[in-house]
Structure 1
């Protein structure tokens, strides 16, 4: 099964050859209001937009038959994929080229339906930026539970086997107190080593960019000591107090705001780097045309887009497509006033452009 990143790059490399692509992003989260409290507002939005697009193709536009086939496939897919746990669905269809790609997510998209020569990739890029894979470890001094957050979904995965210490309070009365405490500390250190190894293996396997540690206040410092220098920078500083028996859905709710904070902080840091680069006339550009030029020449390393600045959708989609095809990262930023004042578009550069 292809990953969201693989889908993103596949669609970015799309060559229309005269055909058009139906791009569909839907908010599948139920809205608890109105006559249908579990209804999804995306249903009428999709129906109305498909009718609206079809009217622009009547009576005999060359793309009409293909659009109707794509619209039918989209509606059929949605009829069979309405699980209550789904929060978002993205669909990309082009009957003329046998394209029908879907992505189901645990976070909602903004409802958007477009029929254009190229797939609209902005919301997919935003998803990949804001929903980076995160590994969470909930630990005490002899148990580790590991979780992976992908695209808004939380999955619990196998951790190190629970390892009872092999002693009890009764044994402590029979042992020299110092020997007893040494045994306790040694067992805790051994388990911290096992937990650290399991976390690092999972981070490498998943390509995770963030790590959250939660649980027992005695276990967390021990675990920090055993994590490698490669993993430590990924660890969020805040230690969350979660009981080792916390249900998975509660773990999910507790770490959501932490992940949002981490992503917001990272995106604001990138926007700050852009602003500093512009002020110093360094490795940064701002403005639509300047950024498009940097992407066209392969000089852009990070494309930075303000989420809360209205941009022409086609230009924005073109920026994202060029970024993907030149291996530039896409960073979406919200609530950064200086970036907003700069027009909401810029890029950090790999090297100083030779076309300036």
Structure 2
């Protein structure tokens, strides 16, 4: 992926700020593997085709899948099974063409990090999205008038969006990340402070000038970090910086973002992205575990008026549009049903809808449908993955919720 390199002056001019924003917007939309952001998911939710179907493809890219192009066999099996079921010749040829474009993109390069990919493609709409996934999602190929995005709810953890800043006086890099995936979005080169302290300056003035330059650089870097934080709707900021620059950077961060500093890490400023990912993962895991426990403890403290435990209680609260936060063990999968007429979840798909009496649609995984409905109600999602939080849930239930009322 081509990264943008910009020269950092002592102050962040309006022109440089606009260039950075334009570059960040390009990073979100250009045809390369992207990290899924909330804005990307919202955009996908607005797309509808009245003519040609939209191809939605999910493919696991576990380490085993990457060996000897094992992913290609799985991809071919998906394609063959889908095309064999299409009786319309024109449609079959069209979809085959779309899938060939996806296959070519995969052969040209897989995302270096992550455990899966998702494609959303429709040539007549000019739609092409390649998304790198931090977790493996089951292989799936769907054709519909809208992008099939339901599996993506498993990537929408409330506390799993990070901006990462790797700072130095000469060279600074910015990344966006979910645990398991890191993407570099901006590189900045700045003046070498020691070189700017020239020989003719009186020794008594050197410390003052260096402090001033460090102050200005820290201010500019903090402004850039805030821009990236807001643009990608991050939840936490992680950073690495020399001690003097660290103080200035923190001082100039907006208070709201300063409160979301998740931790610091250490890595060489020119380290490969994979090495950066390794360096930050323990800090990310610690943030994840801490926030998961906070959510679960809030549910426990809110019982019984504003908190509930149990699959049935949470499903009932979602049906009543009462959920504010849903916490679920990420490994949980349960079968159930859904009534499209009433927009209602049911645990037993063999029975008619309790409201309208009509036959419900069977759901192989009711959890995904429940999380999708919760997000549509502007609820937040806590996907529990840490050992400490799973141990806590084992004492209560694999699903819980905070309620609005």
Q: Normalising by structure 1, what TM-score?
A: 0.73
Evaluate the alpha carbon distance shift between residue 48 and residue 264 of structure 1 in structure 2; reply closer, same or farther with a 3 A threshold. Answer: farther
**More displaced stretch, 310-319 vs 45-54:** 45-54
1:23–1:119 contact (8 Å) kept in structure 2: yes
Aligned residue among 81, 88, 93 for 2:105: 81
> What is the alpha-carbon distance in structure 2 between the residues aligned to residue 254 and residue 266 of structure 1?
20
Q: Which runs of 5+ in 2 are unaligned?
A: 1-28, 31-35, 336-363
How far has the Cα of 1:157 moved from its partner? 0.9
CA distance in 1, matches of 2:301, 2:87: 49
Quote the Cα distance in structure 1 between the aligned partners of 2:380 and 2:212: 44
Task: Work out whether residues 160 and 198 of structure 1, in 8 Å CA contact, stay in contact via their aligned partners in 2.
Answer: no
Distance 2:94 2:284 in 1: 36
Stretch of structure 1 that moved more, 143-152 or 99-108: 99-108
Deviations along 1:61-104, one digit per CA (max 9) or x if unpaired, are: xx86699679746743442121434242224689xxx9987542
Cα distance change on mapping 1:250 and 1:91 into 2, 3 Å: closer
**Partner Cα distance (1:99, 1:243) in 2:** 40
Aligned equivalents of 2:61, 2:101: Cα separation in 1: 13
After superposition, the Cα gap between the structure-2 partners of 1:30 and 1:100, relative to the gap in structure 1 and judged at 3 Å, is farther
Match of 2:319 in 1: 296
What is the count of residue pairs matched by the alignment? 330
Kindly state the Cα deviation for residue 270 of structure 1 after the two structures are TM-superposed.
Answer: 1.8
Task: State the match for 2:267 in structure 1.
Answer: 242
* Pairing 1:310-329 to 2, within 5 Å after superposition: 310-312=333-335, 313-329=364-380
Correspondence for 1:154: 183
Instruction: Name the SS of the counterpart of 1:39 in structure 2.
Output: helix
CA distance in 2, matches of 1:248, 1:256: 12
Residue 29 of structure 1: CA displacement? 4.7
Deviation at 1:11? Answer: 6.8
**Alignment equivalent of 1:90, drawn from 104, 118, 122:** 118
Alignment match, 1:210: 236
1:275-308 CA-partner distances (Å, limit 9, x unpaired): 332xx31312232332223223321112222113
Whole-Å Cα distance in 2 between the matches of residues 200 and 340 of structure 1?
Answer: 38
Unmatched 5+ residue regions in structure 1?
58-62
Please say if 1:104 is aligned against 2:131: yes
Q: Which residue number in structure 1 is paired with residue 398 of structure 2?
A: 344
Q: 1:27 and 2:60 equivalent? A: yes
Residues 1:64 and 1:325: Cα distance change in structure 2 (over 3 Å)? farther
Q: Distance in 1 between the 2:152 and 2:378 partners?
A: 15
1:167 aligns with 2:197: yes
Of 168, 183, 198 in structure 1, the residue corresponding to residue 224 of structure 2 is 198
Partner of 1:38: 68
Structure 1 pair 14/243, CA: closer, same or farther in 2 (3 Å)?
Answer: closer
Contact 1:25–1:91 (CA under 8 A) maintained in structure 2 = yes
Per the alignment, residue 254 of structure 1 pairs with: 279
Q: Deviations over 1:110-145 (max 9, x none)?
A: 3333779998755412223278442222223x3451
Question: How far, CA to CA, are the matches of 1:32 and 1:103 in structure 2?
Answer: 18
Question: C-alpha offsets along residues 298-354 of structure 1, whole Å, 9 cap, x if unaligned?
Answer: 21112222113343343112202211221112221123123244442222112x2xx
Name the SS of the counterpart of 1:211 in structure 2.
Answer: strand
* 1:209 CA displacement: 1.6
